[in-house]
Structure 1
Amino acid sequence: MSNDTRYDENNGVVDSASSEADLQETESHEQEKDDEQPLATAQKNMENLAGNVAATVGGALGEAQNAVTSGISAVREVRYAAKAHADARHQIQEMRTVLTSDKEQLEHRLYVHENYDGIVSEQTAIITESTQEMQRQKNTVDSLTQHHTDLQKQLETILSEDEQNLRPYRNLSETAKGRLDDVARTVTEAKRAIKMAEAQVKDATDRRDQACASAQRALDNSHERQHKLLEELTELKKDPAANNSAISRVQNDIASEKIRESEAQASLASITEQAKSAIEIAQTHLWTQKKSLESAQSATDAAHSAYEERKNEFERLQTEARARERIAQNNLTAVEENIKQAQDAFDAAAQRHDDALALLEDARVIQASPEETERLKGSVSSQLSAVEQKQDEIEKLAHVEKTLRVTTRKQRLALLAVIAGFVILVILLIWRILN
């Protein structure tokens, strides 16, 4: 059969080229269907999974919502019960405080009614005794205060007299100290002058020795030159061939040396005489300064002895004055202490007097108002009943609170679990996002 053969759809005969094209198109559609089938299956599975998850989550959310609602309700009920219990305890505490105060007042009033005569007698005696004690201590304080004034004036007089008596001796001591300082400075200056005089003697001696040595060297040199010229003259005279002019020249040189010898001797004598005078002057000045130092040292010893005498006398008188002043001050201090003790005793007696007066006034007021005592009796009795009722109420509230805590324990724990799960879910979500 050729490629152009076709078959009719009704009788099965078609063109061969058309049949091949239709076959290829059919295969292509089948291939597309095969490719789309896994995707459709996966999508359907995901939809089923999402439905199941939604159903599960929805159920979980519903259960969580129920747990939260019941947990919050349970917590609220427990809190209300605890608050009611606490308020009741606070109320009974206040009631007991008021009751205690009223009971103490009632007991005090009953005691006063029963012992009124004894209280009046006792407190009246205390008032009388304390009044007398206050008067005695007041008189003592007044007397001691006057004595203190006298002692204060006496101390001021002693201080003034001691100052006047000590002033001349203080001045003498200070004057002697000034004189000692002056002569001490004189000794220092004399020592300094001696050192300068010793230096002057040494300088004059050194100058004399140097000048004498120089003149002596000139004289010795002249002697040596004369000796050489005489030897030369002797040799010339012995020589028959010697020239008369040479002999004459040597003789003239000898005469000149003799003149220089005479001048050197005169200079040596003059230097010795002048140096002797200068040295004697320097030594005299040194001797004078040494005498001045001896005199200054003797004056220093005398001034030091006088200063020690004046100082010791002043210190002795000052010690005696300070002893008198200290005795007067001690007497003054003792009186001040006695005044303080008397004042303290007066204050204590005044306090006893005021306390007794207050107790006596309180007893009179209570004795004059028996109706108040009766009112307190009724009030205390009513308060005792109210406290008993409130105590019963507290016990009931405590039982209600305890029962609620037991019966709602599961709901409150479930609420805590939901909150913890929510917190964990948020943490995981944040961790997922961050990663």
Structure 2
Amino acid sequence: MEDRQSAPEEPQEKSPSSTADDALVAARGAAQSAASRLREGVNAVRDVRAAARRHSSARARLREMTEALEADEAALERRDEVAATYEQIVEEQGAAVAEAKAEISRQRELVERAEQRAASLEEQLEQLRENNEEELRPYKRLAETARGRSEEASRGVSEAKRAVRTAEGQAKDAAERREQSISSANRAIDSSQARLRKVEEELRKARDGHAAAGAVKQLQDDVTTELAHVEAARAEVSVVTRDAQSAVDAAQTHLWTQKKSLEEAQREADAARREYESRKQDYEERLARARDAEEDLEDQISSLRKEAEEAKAAHDEAAERHDEAQALLDEAEEVHATPEETKRLRASVAAQRAEIEAQQGVVDELAEGERSLRTSTRGSRLVLLAAAVAVVVVIVAIVALIVTR
């Protein structure tokens, strides 16, 4: 029995349920630890952001205070400068104001005078245009009437040329018909003479051959007839020649008459053209003189308008100089009359410098606190960052898995 008690005990195996409980406890511990570290990371990020906001707000406040101080320092410096040169400013700017006023008055008078003169010349120009139009109207009418006559005469020349061409054609036709008629009459004579010679030859043969008296008699009658035909043809040639020549003479006379008419129409057209050119030249010369007179007045008006514009520009420049000098003078008077404001501003500048120095200390302190907090919480914030990255990786993996399926 003692021997059994002294024997070493064998290790007992844990049950499956005991192992699962231990794993659950370990998992819970790990989860709690991870959650605690994540909370620490979140708190660290929140604290760092709060410190950064406080630091940024303090720096913004310092910047505003500095800008306000710089503005007041500039104002104080300007007041000191004005106070130190008060008498000089009053003397110089007072003279500048007086000079600018005189210049403004002078330029205003120049503007008024130039505009009045320009208005008067514009009235003269309008009246001159009306007078010129009235005076030129009869000369313009004469030129237009002469142009109408010239154009009408030119049309008469064109009609006369057409009549001449027609008469030339008629004369040519009459000459051709004369030649044709005479040629036809001469051919008739030739034919009659040829028949006469033939009959005379037959009569000669009949006589030589002692033909019957009746046949000879018949041939003698034929010869007589053909002789009559020849004489008639010759008479016809004279008649045809006379009649054809008469027609040619009439056509030539008509052509000569038409040429004379053309020459007369051409003389009338030349005279009408010369008259139109003379009337036109007279009108254009008068018109040019009228336009020169109008343009002379227009140039004077333009010069006066330009003079008025230049005087207006000089007036505006003098007004600007006056306003600038008056502003400097008013400023000097205001500074000279309110020394207490200079004193107040000087005290305010000193107070602001002290406040800025104190604010700079606050900014430095907050900056140091922010740097210290960032250093001390660096690990916690990195853990939070790693956790966020892990979550993103898991999400990406899940999405990739879903897509591949």
Classify the TM-score, shorter chain: 0.7 to 0.9
* Residue matched to 1:100: 70
Match of 1:197 among 148, 167, 175: 167
Residue 284 of structure 1 pairs with residue 253 of structure 2: yes
CA–CA distance in structure 2, aligned partners of residues 280 and 64 of structure 1: 145
Match of 1:143 among 100, 113, 128: 113
CA gap of 1:258–1:92, structure 2 versus 1, over 3 A, is: farther
CA–CA distance in structure 2, aligned partners of residues 403 and 103 of structure 1: 36
CA shift, 1:336, in A, is: 2.1
Within a 5 Å distance, the mapping from 1:338-353 to structure 2 comes to: 338-353=307-322
User: Bigger CA drift: 229-238 or 117-126?
Assistant: 117-126
CA–CA distance in structure 2, aligned partners of residues 162 and 198 of structure 1: 53
* Residue matched to 2:125: 155
Residue 432 of structure 1 pairs with residue 392 of structure 2: no
Residue 185 of structure 1 pairs with residue 159 of structure 2: no
CA–CA distance in structure 1, aligned partners of residues 171 and 31 of structure 2: 130
Deviation string 1:258-296 (CA, Å, 9 cap, x unpaired) is: 444444334333322222122111111211222223333
CA shift, 1:213, in A, is: 2.3
Deviation string 1:140-179 (CA, Å, 9 cap, x unpaired) is: 3333333333333443444444444544444444444334
**Unmatched runs of 5 consecutive residues or more in structure 1:** 1-57
User: Bigger CA drift: 269-278 or 201-210?
Assistant: 269-278
CA–CA distance in structure 2, aligned partners of residues 200 and 401 of structure 1: 128
User: Bigger CA drift: 127-136 or 257-266?
Assistant: 257-266
CA–CA distance in structure 1, aligned partners of residues 301 and 230 of structure 2: 103
- Tell me if the contact between 1:134 and 1:349 (Cα under 8 Å) persists in the aligned partners: yes
* Residue matched to 1:421: 393
Match of 2:348 among 349, 371, 379: 379
CA–CA distance in structure 1, aligned partners of residues 166 and 79 of structure 2: 111
- Tell me if the contact between 1:74 and 1:412 (Cα under 8 Å) persists in the aligned partners: no
Within a 5 Å distance, the mapping from 1:65-84 to structure 2 comes to: 79-84=49-54
CA–CA distance in structure 2, aligned partners of residues 314 and 66 of structure 1: 114
CA gap of 1:93–1:205, structure 2 versus 1, over 3 A, is: farther
CA–CA distance in structure 2, aligned partners of residues 263 and 354 of structure 1: 130
Within a 5 Å distance, the mapping from 1:228-267 to structure 2 comes to: 228-240=198-210, 242=211, 246-247=215-216, 249-267=218-236
* Letter of the 2:298 counterpart: Q
* Residue matched to 2:265: 296
CA–CA distance in structure 2, aligned partners of residues 228 and 90 of structure 1: 153
CA gap of 1:292–1:403, structure 2 versus 1, over 3 A, is: farther
CA–CA distance in structure 1, aligned partners of residues 125 and 56 of structure 2: 74
Within a 5 Å distance, the mapping from 1:221-232 to structure 2 comes to: 221-232=191-202
* Letter of the 2:180 counterpart: Q
CA–CA distance in structure 1, aligned partners of residues 325 and 56 of structure 2: 45
**More relative contact order, 1 or 2 (CA 8 Å, 6+ apart):** 2
User: Bigger CA drift: 120-129 or 203-212?
Assistant: 120-129
Deviation string 1:231-272 (CA, Å, 9 cap, x unpaired) is: 2232233334x4555545544544444444444334333322
* Letter of the 2:311 counterpart: A
Match of 2:238 among 269, 294, 300: 269
* Residue matched to 2:23: none
Q: Percent identity?
A: 39
* Letter of the 1:350 counterpart: A
CA–CA distance in structure 2, aligned partners of residues 421 and 272 of structure 1: 135
* Letter of the 2:253 counterpart: T
* Letter of the 1:338 counterpart: E
CA–CA distance in structure 2, aligned partners of residues 81 and 363 of structure 1: 49
**Could you say what the CA RMSD is over the residues aligned between the two structures, in angstroms?**
3.9
* Letter of the 1:187 counterpart: V
CA–CA distance in structure 2, aligned partners of residues 296 and 89 of structure 1: 110
| TM-score normalised by L of structure 2 | 0.74
CA–CA distance in structure 2, aligned partners of residues 214 and 284 of structure 1: 25
Deviation string 1:349-396 (CA, Å, 9 cap, x unpaired) is: 333334444444444444444444444334333333333344444445
* Letter of the 2:357 counterpart: E
* Residue matched to 1:388: 357
CA shift, 1:192, in A, is: 1.9
- Tell me if the contact between 1:92 and 1:391 (Cα under 8 Å) persists in the aligned partners: yes
* Residue matched to 2:185: 215
* Residue matched to 2:6: none
CA–CA distance in structure 2, aligned partners of residues 132 and 67 of structure 1: 86
SS at match of 2:104: helix
SS at match of 2:198: helix
SS at match of 1:216: helix
* Letter of the 1:324 counterpart: A
User: Bigger CA drift: 159-168 or 63-72?
Assistant: 63-72
CA–CA distance in structure 2, aligned partners of residues 318 and 86 of structure 1: 85
How many equivalent residue pairs? Answer: 376
CA–CA distance in structure 1, aligned partners of residues 318 and 104 of structure 2: 6
SS at match of 2:100: helix
**Unmatched runs of 5 consecutive residues or more in structure 2:** 1-27
Match of 1:327 among 287, 296, 299: 296
User: Bigger CA drift: 121-130 or 330-339?
Assistant: 121-130
CA shift, 1:199, in A, is: 0.6
CA–CA distance in structure 1, aligned partners of residues 241 and 43 of structure 2: 141
| TM-score normalised by L of structure 1 | 0.70
CA shift, 1:223, in A, is: 1.8
* Residue matched to 1:337: 306
CA shift, 1:60, in A, is: 12
Within a 5 Å distance, the mapping from 1:2-13 to structure 2 comes to: none
CA gap of 1:375–1:220, structure 2 versus 1, over 3 A, is: same
